[in-house]
Amino acid sequence: MFWTSFILWATCCQSLASAHAKILPPANGEEIFINNNGVTLHYRKYGCGPYLVLQHGFPDRETTFADFQVPAFAQSYTVLTPTLRGYPPSSVPPEAADYGPDYLVSDLAAILDHENTTTATVIGHDFGGAVVQYFSLYHPERVEAMVMMNTPPFATFVPLINFDKEAQEYARYTIPYYTYKPGQPKNISTLVENIRNTTYRAEIAAYLEASPIDGMLHYYSANYPGPPYEQNTSVSGYVQKVPSMLLWGVEDVYFSPKMLDGLEGFYNKGIRLVTVPGAGHWVFRDDWQRSNEEIWSFLKTVLRL
Ligand SMILES: *[C@@H]1O[C@H](CO)[C@@H](O)[C@H](O)[C@H]1NC(C)=O
Ligand SMILES: *[C@@H]1O[C@H](CO)[C@@H](O)[C@H](O)[C@H]1NC(C)=O
Ligand SMILES: *[C@@H]1O[C@H](CO)[C@@H](O)[C@H](O)[C@H]1NC(C)=O
Ligand SMILES: *[C@@H]1O[C@H](CO)[C@@H](O)[C@H](O)[C@H]1NC(C)=O
């Protein structure tokens, strides 16, 4: 499958390259809606070549990658930017149980199936990083490579948050998320306060103002280890079987950096950790040049370029 998609890539992108000095994807991509067992999923598609998924997190939307990543990667990849369930214009299923790992994996599988591609490279930020980790665990044969960006790597995060007071303090902001009900104050200015780019911060604030946030917060109830802490949380047997990278803006205020220690034992195709000084939670926006360079450098080893 890998070589099939590689040959398609060569044909598609090289023929375009000979016709145009620089290949630019359509500005807003192609907008696609699919139905996965009654849940509408929205995504955009850009460029040509093997598949690359850029998965947004919270509080964000798929346009977060349009400024800096899509123009770079759509020259060599078919880039998909899915809108997670719970985020309009995708459906917002009502129950926390609708946001468990099986559903999140099924959504990404449905998108790749709709594209008729067996495999993809998957990149995820924040809760999008949880999605790409689940997907790689469930379907390692469908993943060429995985890049996590400022998202807790499960194997070190789960024991850390359960047994480290400082990590529990970092997670204090999540406590109201478990009990939020539609109609309660959304506290949007707090949600977006760490988006450094003021133009983009205003865009996301307006999006959250116009959108229900209960689905977005259900991700926490369904996936994020919360109180009561200090339970027996064994991660024995957790092994990622795909080439993996973790890109980390070191000024992230949401997560204890202690979870960056001890990753090596959990990735049997290797884990490349890249820390980016001066960048915060939105590492791929805060220092997009460095982020893109590091991701490219990693992906070239996977593509053997
Ligand atoms: C996927 O395959 C089906 C059946 O051959 C076809 O109708 C559809 O256009 C293909 N989709 C894409 C995105 O190539
Ligand atoms: C919003 O802020 C109020 C007042 O600080 C707090 O009680 C509530 O839990 C917050 N809700 C969310 C969703 O953060
Ligand atoms: C800030 O965000 C806007 C909207 O996404 C974008 O067009 C602009 O390039 C960004 N500026 C910087 C310096 O990142
Ligand atoms: C913790 O959980 C693991 C996996 O479920 C189990 O094998 C182990 O016996 C448990 N340890 C304790 C002390 O309960």
113 lines ligand 1 (CB under 6 A): no
Distance of CA 135 to the CA centre of its chain: 11
Inform me whether the pLDDT recorded for 1 exceeds 50. Answer: no
For 157, phi and psi rounded to 5 degrees?
-70, -45
- pLDDT above 70 as % of the chain: 91
Task: Give the model confidence (pLDDT) of 185-216 as tens digits.
Answer: 999 999 999 999 999 999 999 999 999 999 99
* Residues within a 6 A CB radius of ligand 4: 232, 234
Neighbouring-strand partners of residue 145? 121
Region 159-165: mean pLDDT is 95
Task: Give the model confidence (pLDDT) of 78-91 as tens digits.
Answer: 999 999 999 999 99
pLDDT for 23 equals 52
Which of 162, 232, 235 maximizes ligand 4 atoms within 8 Å of its Cβ, making it the mutation to test the pocket?
A: 232
Rounded Cα distance, 139 and 157, in Å: 21
Inform me whether the pLDDT recorded for 8 exceeds 50. Answer: no
What is the tally of helices (H) and strands (E) in the chain? 11, 8
Which ligand 2 atom is nearest residue 190's CA?
14
pLDDT band of residue 305 (cuts 50, 70, 90) is confident
Region 48-64: mean pLDDT is 97
Q: Which residues of 134-169 are buried (b: 16+ CB within 10 A; e: fewer)?
A: bbbbbbeebbbbbbbbbbbbbbbbbbbbbeeeebbe
Domain count, the chain: 1
Distance of CA 284 to the CA centre of its chain: 11
| E strands present in the chain | 30-36, 39-47, 51-55, 78-83, 120-125, 143-149, 244-249, 271-276
pLDDT for 12 equals 52
Range of the structural domain that residue 20 is part of: 2-303
Q: Residue 245 belongs to a domain with what CATH number? A: 3.40.50.1820
CA of 232 to the centre of ligand 4 (A): 6
pLDDT for 236 equals 79
pLDDT for 24 equals 57
CA of 255 to the centre of ligand 2 (A): 20
Residue (of 151, 146, 147) closest to 58 by Cα position: 151
pLDDT band of residue 18 (cuts 50, 70, 90) is very low
Structure tokens given for 298: 């990693």
Task: Give the model confidence (pLDDT) of 83-122 as tens digits.
Answer: 999 999 999 999 999 999 999 999 999 999 999 999 999 9
Rounded Cα distance, 246 and 223, in Å: 20
